[in-house]
Structure 1
Amino acid sequence: MSGEAQAPLALEWAHGTLSVQPVGAMLDSLVFHLPDGPFAPFARRHWSPDAPDLRALPAHLRHLGAEFVCLPFGVGGPLRDIAPDWRPFGLERQNDPAHGLSANAVWTVAEQDADHLRMVLDYPADHAVRRLTRVLTVRADAPVLDLALTIEARHAARLPLGLHPILSLDVPEGSLHLDARFRRGLTYPAAVPGEAMEAAIGRDFASLAKVPARTGGLLDLARLPKAAPMEDVVQLCGVEGPVDVVFAARGAVLSLDWDRELLPSCLLWISDRALSGAPWEGRYRGLGIEPIASCFYFAASVSLADNPISAAGTPTSLCVTPERPAVIRYGLSARPL
């Protein structure tokens, strides 16, 4: 665990600053410089990763930052009130470690200069993945961060994969606006842990502004945060363009764009003051906007099965082969409103 104490790496350019932790090659902070001042759209943990009472947690939770890679994507665990169509799929199974080695191991710095950082992670010899390479590149002329993930494989395999940006919900009520186009939306097919789920269990929707609510009627998830604490998860299948997030109170827009041929869905994880245990303490305010080839946050075995999402035509895993490394490109950009 000594590698976890390594200092973050930093990049600074005319349009922003960022820092990256060796644990998970995790983007720890990202601040864009806009014409009217700094724009810091990402959530920040309020706890110390070295706190003694957090030692049993996965490394990605202890160090939770702004963005990281999950391979295999997924957590899993005990659930209640599972929708009938989902009961045969073993939703209680768990990934070990949660969100995979990529999110919890210490990566190696392979190269760093004024505008980019390249980090690598070798997987165990018995794993289908041989190596991950993560490159973060800033654009000299714009408030833009370009990212690329290369997956080299030992043998052909299917793997659930996810990218994990987390935006801040520590903004005025209803002032964060989501603009996302998608073919099909799904609410979580069980009760979300935290006792603060607002969406109905196991329902379809076509607009974030009209999501079936657990108490009846409709819930507007295109405008956050809500007045009351909330813990919810929805999956947007067949995403059809970048996801734009308007921070109305700040007068700025964050845009997340990615290779949707490889990661066709986007998971929204709304975690706003509802989780009371460590490390959350009822204080964390984050919105995960997570490009995925996965079935919600369930364990890899669920995503690799003929689950209700893949059976309906949206892939929940990524195919990798040794002959041709998979390269996923994505980007984070900011602009004034």
Structure 2
Amino acid sequence: MSDAPLDLLALDWPHGALRVSPVGAMLADLVFHLPDGPFAPFARPHWSPDDPSLGALPAHLRHLGAEFVCLPFGVGGKLDAIAPGWGGFGLERCNDLPHGLAANATWSVEEQDADHIRLTLDYPADHAVRRLTRTLAVRPGAPALDLELAIDVRRATRLPIGLHPILSLDVPTETLRLQARFRRGLTYPASVPGGAMRVAIGRDFTSLATVPARAGDVIDLACLPKAAPMEDVLQLCDIEGAVEAVFAERRAVLSLDWDRNLLPSCLLWISDRALAGAPWGGRYRGLGIEPIASCFDFAEPVSLADNPIASAGTPTCLAATPERPTVLRYSLAARPLPGA
């Protein structure tokens, strides 16, 4: 890992190294030390956050770290080909700030020592959220990182919320295998921007290996990346156990585990060389594996409504009360690929 800029916070331990940016409290860089060498599983932007050509992009897109928190989760925007049953929910509405203040504001550094960094973010006085506290702690004896988000609210409220790790798809074709168990999978209920959607619109599935394809038949999305560019979004509802990404070429496995009682779903954002505008430039290769309590990446009012996911029994928001903070715990851990 190269020397970090002065504005990044650093932690190094025998099993890895990380860098955190106060902007969005983003985990900007993370490398695990495995027996076969360094393992850096996360996507990195090929642009500079200071590039003037990026215009008025929100901060989370300017910096686009390896992992960050979104509250309220969601972006929204104009959509075409909305699936039957999804009209009338305002899918075209937008959050005032894509993915919320948490992903775009500059957090305060409250504490840093040899094994953890703690940052806080105060929300505006009229917001239901009072403060977020984010802690990133290394496991001294393992290639693993334990993270915690404490949500302190002023009044009882419901919040669409998500975590946003982004893995690198800059690996040989179909050498990254996803392992995820879930009750119900859904393809995006509209046409995904980018013109490279590979899955059918508004369909259910039960295995990533057999996702309904836009061209007919099915597509195996348990094996990535594909040879051709693609841009797709899927929601896996009622996740069971950790989600794992097996990097065959790097002979390593990344495991993402979290409190599924609070975040019952996982959004998969497959963004591989399909987005041509700034900052993507047809070059970005990322796989978002995003634990959420949300309805896809739609704007906050959609997740708070009785949308088709919520009405089928999977919560699309998190309930919080002022009596005590709601604490969300999750982890990122690496290990060698068995038999490697």
TM-score, length-scaled by structure 1: 0.98
Structure 2: gaps of 5 or more residues: none
Matched, 1:91 2:91: yes
Partner of 1:135: 135
**Over residues 52-109 of structure 1, what are the superposed CA-to-partner deviations in whole Å (9 max), with x where a residue is unaligned?**
1213000000000100000000000000000021011010000010000000000000
**Over residues 245-277 of structure 1, what are the superposed CA-to-partner deviations in whole Å (9 max), with x where a residue is unaligned?**
000011000000000000000000000000000
Matched, 1:156 2:117: no
Matched, 1:194 2:169: no
Q: Measure the CA separation in 1 of the matches of 2:55 and 2:33.
A: 36
**Over residues 228-261 of structure 1, what are the superposed CA-to-partner deviations in whole Å (9 max), with x where a residue is unaligned?**
0000000000000000100001100000000000
Matched, 1:180 2:180: yes
Instruction: State the 1:36 CA deviation.
Output: 1.1
Partner of 1:284: 284
Partner of 1:327: 327
Q: Measure the CA separation in 1 of the matches of 2:264 and 2:139.
A: 26
Partner of 1:78: 78
Q: Measure the CA separation in 2 of the matches of 1:36 and 1:224.
A: 22
Partner of 1:166: 166
**What SS class does the counterpart of residue 194 from structure 2 fall into?**
coil
Q: Measure the CA separation in 2 of the matches of 1:259 and 1:316.
A: 15
**What SS class does the counterpart of residue 101 from structure 2 fall into?**
helix
Instruction: State the 1:6 CA deviation.
Output: 6.5
Q: Measure the CA separation in 1 of the matches of 2:288 and 2:82.
A: 23
Q: Measure the CA separation in 1 of the matches of 2:23 and 2:81.
A: 35
**Over residues 177-205 of structure 1, what are the superposed CA-to-partner deviations in whole Å (9 max), with x where a residue is unaligned?**
00000000000000000000000000000
Instruction: State the 1:324 CA deviation.
Output: 1.8
Partner of 1:246: 246
Partner of 1:235: 235
Letter of the aligned partner of 2:287 in structure 1? L
TM-score, length-scaled by structure 2: 0.97
Letter of the aligned partner of 1:146 in structure 2? D
Letter of the aligned partner of 2:138 in structure 1? V
Structure 1: gaps of 5 or more residues: none
Partner of 1:298: 298
Instruction: State the 1:21 CA deviation.
Output: 0.5
Letter of the aligned partner of 2:275 in structure 1? L
Q: Measure the CA separation in 1 of the matches of 2:55 and 2:19.
A: 23
Q: Measure the CA separation in 2 of the matches of 1:51 and 1:250.
A: 32
The answer to whether the 8 A contact 1:7-1:21 is kept is yes
**Over residues 85-143 of structure 1, what are the superposed CA-to-partner deviations in whole Å (9 max), with x where a residue is unaligned?**
10110100000100000000000000000000000000000000000000000011000
**What SS class does the counterpart of residue 209 from structure 1 fall into?**
helix
Partner of 1:40: 40
**What SS class does the counterpart of residue 324 from structure 1 fall into?**
coil
Q: Measure the CA separation in 2 of the matches of 1:106 and 1:322.
A: 24
Letter of the aligned partner of 2:91 in structure 1? L
Instruction: State the 1:326 CA deviation.
Output: 0.4
The answer to whether the 8 A contact 1:6-1:22 is kept is no
**What SS class does the counterpart of residue 152 from structure 1 fall into?**
strand
Letter of the aligned partner of 2:135 in structure 1? V
Partner of 2:221: 221
Letter of the aligned partner of 1:208 in structure 2? L
**What SS class does the counterpart of residue 88 from structure 2 fall into?**
helix
**What SS class does the counterpart of residue 102 from structure 1 fall into?**
helix
Matched, 1:206 2:210: no
| Identity within the alignment, % | 75
Q: Measure the CA separation in 2 of the matches of 1:300 and 1:265.
A: 16
**What SS class does the counterpart of residue 216 from structure 2 fall into?**
coil
Q: Measure the CA separation in 2 of the matches of 1:16 and 1:55.
A: 35
**What SS class does the counterpart of residue 103 from structure 1 fall into?**
helix
Q: Measure the CA separation in 2 of the matches of 1:6 and 1:286.
A: 26
Letter of the aligned partner of 1:287 in structure 2? L
Q: How does 1:60-71 map to 2 (within 5 A)?
A: 60-71=60-71
The answer to whether the 8 A contact 1:309-1:315 is kept is yes
Aligned length: 333
Instruction: State the 1:159 CA deviation.
Output: 0.5
Q: Measure the CA separation in 2 of the matches of 1:65 and 1:227.
A: 25
Letter of the aligned partner of 1:37 in structure 2? G
**Over residues 9-57 of structure 1, what are the superposed CA-to-partner deviations in whole Å (9 max), with x where a residue is unaligned?**
0100000000001100000000000011000000000000001121300
Q: Measure the CA separation in 1 of the matches of 2:152 and 2:158.
A: 13
Partner of 2:101: 101
Over the aligned positions, Cα root-mean-square deviation in angstroms equals 0.7
